[in-house]
Amino acid sequence: MKILKNIIFISVLIYLFASVESVVQKSKNEDNTISDSSNSPKSIYNIILKNMESVQSTHYDWLTNKQNKCVKEKSEQSISSIDDKNCVKDFSSQDGRLKGYSGWFTEEFVKELKKRNDVDIVEKDQIMSIQYVVPRDIQITPTEGLDRIDQAKFPLDGQYAFPNSAGQGVNIFVVGT
């Protein structure tokens, strides 16, 4: 059950990351923090903030005041992109469980982000797949009860599908007396 919850959580994160794009610029600020206004190559990164009170507002204040970025809230019309190239896309959940944003950043800026105390995760945007099809074998005439194990809904199909690696790497020791 815990694995299923983790898979669902990861799926939601992947959906959020895949549906969000943003762009930022880089420059040097007075407080010696690196910002994003050079011509260095940039990639899309997703930044997850630590789940503490006031972290999000403090971090966004830093982005807007010290880094000269604007923060755009997600909306149905602008899920996939932002017109303003100096902005980051906020994909925080409404219930406050997930706080984060996405944007185009240089590697130098990302290194600075990773050092910040209010940043939990910095992940480069990438395509991920969580569905892995396990090769299966089918037993045409299964013993009683096996047919019900491999399918959730009726009517039963009279077959038992199981991974073809089932039992691989398992040692069984039978002691008879």
Same domain, 95 and 28: yes
For 43-61, how does the pLDDT look when each residue is reduced to its tens digit (9 = 90+)?
888 889 988 777 888 888 8
Same domain, 27 and 108: yes
Is the residue at 130 inside a domain?
no
Mean pLDDT of the chain: 73
For 119-150, how does the pLDDT look when each residue is reduced to its tens digit (9 = 90+)?
999 999 888 777 667 778 888 888 888 888 88
Is the residue at 42 inside a domain?
yes
Is the residue at 98 inside a domain?
yes
- Domain of residue 28, residue span: 2-124
Rounded to two decimals, the pTM is 0.50
Q: How many domains does the chain have?
A: 2
Same domain, 151 and 91: no
Q: What is the pLDDT of residue 120?
A: 92
Q: For 111-150, give one letter per residue: b (16+ CB within 10 A) or e.
A: ebbeeeebbeebeebeeeeeeeeeeeeeeeebeeeebeeb
The domain boundary, picked from 124, 146, 167, lies at 124
